[in-house]
Amino acid sequence: MNMWLAILGTLWLAMLAFFGLRSLRKTRGADDYILAGSNIGMLLGLMTFAATLFSTFTLMGMPDFFRNHGVGAWIFLAISDGAMFFVIVWFGLHLRRRAAEKGFRGVAGLMSACYDNRWAGFACFAAVFLFLVPYVAIQVRGIAIFLSAVFPEALPAWGWSVAIVITMLLYSEVGGLRAIIYSDVLQGTILLTVIWIIAIGCIRHFGGVEAMFRQVQVTNEALLSTPGPLGLFTLQFLIASFLAIVMIPITQPQVTTRLVIMRNTRLMQHKAVGLGVFTLLILLPTVAIGMYGAVHYADASTRDFLAGVLLFEQLDIIAAAVVIGLLAAAISTADSQIFALGTELRSLLSGDEQKVLIFTRIAIMFFGLAALVFSILSSDELVLLARVSFAGTSMVGPLILAGILSPRPPGIEVIIAGAVGLLLFLASLLNLVPSMIGPLRLDLLLLLAIGAFTLASVLYRNYRFKTLDQVTKVTDKDVNRGE
């Protein structure tokens, strides 16, 4: 495998360098660097969105999730994703309208403009900083611990983390968003190819899909239904996860930006349908790999399972492609997120554009280093940590939706509600407040409460302004008559 790894690794690094330098040559000015000229076509748009969404979380996390918790994992991710793509058609249109009206430099900046209040932007930035840095960290950690286990003589886990973060930062700093998009396309292609090759091998091993599930039934029947053998997929867990994932295009700026930078609205909406097809193609094989693991690696650790099924049971060339695919997946998702953090910060800054850009680049380095530190300290629960990130950023979902949809600037109470929700959720993660309030999960309760409060506030303000408008018109008429 080492020979193939050297060949494919060199090829991949050469392509990264080529894309980085090509993007550097094409880049004209700060907006071009940050937003790739806002002129992305259908295929690039589709692949970059998919690669940002699906990462090590998909290739490593989902098979392990199916193996441990069973078929409920399909509801957890696929149904939530399906609903999310529908939301993109609707939300993307309104987002692009607002972006055209107010100008777009980032979601935080757009919110400051929509609310006429900088604190709205600060609240959004706080949410993405608090919950995207850990998300970046788990991408890096996931692949680092895997590689250190598979190649113990090469580098320790922290060494792999450092190598990944340096590659990611170099690449992003040189080529900007355009370079990241090209690397996303490369990653999406590798990911889709290797995951199918492995899944077909798993299904062939059983002699078909039916035989595979029958074998799982014999091994552990609880895997074939919810809540799964460990009781994870309760109705509340699935609903809370559903809401958090559906909110991703609204609350995760690396995804939101990919809706705005499309060449036009039609392409963005076509992309939503394309993503539906692409996601089905990505997620179906993870079921087969997970079920294979449930039968043959029932008691193995996550590391042993993934190393066995993804590498040691494969042909050398496939195993090498998997390693490169995993590295590419981790880097392309993580650099999109780190870059999005920089973009968000830039959108809150004003002044000389060159100085702002230099500051943004330094900030991207800082975010990368913060993620590196967190990756060395965080736990191994990839999917659950990713879910925490989605749930955390979803706390400002109602705030962003109100800013985009409300015809008038929403009130400061909406910003306060989002900030309080964010703090309470954070406190629950630190065990300062309970994660269950009575029978309800705190994240679900917070999201529902903030959503209802925001809706009531927006409706009340719009009603009050309408009434005030009418009163003003009547008064004006009276004044005119008097004159």
Partner 1 sequence: MKNRSTLFWRLCWIGAALLCVLTFTPVVIPSGHFTPFVAGMPRTIWTGILVYIGLVLLTLAANIVYKERDIDGGADK
Binding site for partner 1 (CB under 8 A): 31, 35, 37-39, 71-72, 74-75, 78-79, 81-83, 85-86, 88-90, 93, 95-100, 103-105, 208-213, 217, 221-222, 224-227, 233, 235, 238-239, 242, 260-266, 269-270, 272-273, 276-277, 280, 287
8 Å CB contact between 341 and 210: no
Question: Residue 43: what are its φ and ψ, rounded to 5°?
Answer: -65, -45
CA–CA–CA angle 275, 279, 283 (5° rounding): 175
Rounded to an integer, what distance in angstroms lies between the CA atom of residue 53 and that of residue 430?
Answer: 27
Return the number of the residue (164 or 261) whose C-beta is nearest partner 1: 261
**What single-letter DSSP state applies at residue 60?**
I
d(CA 49, CA 393): 18
Contact 23, 179 (CB under 8 A): yes
d(CA 99, CA 116): 15
State in angstroms the smallest separation of the CB of 393 from partner 1: 20
> Based on CB atoms, which residue is closest to partner 1, 9 or 227?
227
Q: How far is the CB of 35 from partner 1 (least distance, A)?
A: 5
Q: What is the DSSP letter of 4?
A: H
- In angstroms, rounded to a whole number, what is the distance separating the alpha carbons of residues 115 and 412? 8
* Least distance (Å) between residue 81 CB and partner 1: 8
Rounded Cα–Cα distance for residues 188 and 169 (Å): 20
C-beta separation of 243 from 449 below 8 A: no
Residue 38 or 462 having the CB closest to partner 1: 38
CA 324 from centroid of its chain's CA atoms: 21
Q: How far is the CB of 283 from partner 1 (least distance, A)?
A: 9
Residue 116's DSSP bridge partners are none
When the beta carbons of 49 and 135 are compared against partner 1, the nearer one is 49
Give the nearer residue to partner 1 in terms of CB position, either 40 or 424.
40
> Could you tell me the smallest distance in angstroms from the CB atom of residue 4 to partner 1?
34
Write the burial class of residue 279 (CB in 10 Å: 0-12 exposed, 13-18 middle, 19+ buried). buried
Q: Smallest distance from the beta carbon of 235 to partner 1, in angstroms?
A: 6
Give me 155's structure tokens. 């580098």
Is residue 95 within 8 Å of 268, Cβ to Cβ? no
At which residue do the structure tokens 């994660």 appear? 435
d(CA 131, CA 151): 30
The nearer residue to partner 1, 326 or 391, going by C-beta atoms, is 391
- Min dist CB 82 to partner 1, Å, is 3
The nearer residue to partner 1, 85 or 374, going by C-beta atoms, is: 85
Q: Nearer to partner 1 by C-beta: 17 or 239? A: 239
Q: What is the DSSP string of 244-299?
A: HHHTHHHH-HHHHHHHHTBSSHHHHHHHHHHHHHHHHHHHHHHHHHHHHHHHHSTT
**CB 86 to partner 1: min, Å:** 5
**Least distance in Å: CB of 275 to partner 1?**
9
CA gap 271, 258 in Å, rounded: 10
Distance CA(157)–CA(375), nearest Å, equals 10
Q: For partner 1, give the closer residue by CB, 114 or 238.
A: 238
Nearest residue (CB) to partner 1, 107 versus 310: 107
Bridge-based pairing state of the strands 440-441 and 436-437: antiparallel
- Residue type at 231? G
Alpha helices in 349-441 (DSSP H): 353-377, 382-394, 397-405, 412-429
Q: Which of residues 227 and 308 has its CB atom nearest to partner 1 in the complex?
A: 227
CB of 422 to partner 1, least distance (A): 25
Closest distance of CB 110 from partner 1, Å: 10
- Rounded to whole angstroms, what are the CA distances from 435 to 76, 134, 176, 425, 431? 20, 19, 39, 8, 8
Task: Rank residues 159 and 208 by Cβ distance to partner 1 and give the closer one.
Answer: 208
The distance of closest approach from Cβ of residue 261 to partner 1 in the complex, given in angstroms and rounded to an integer, is 6
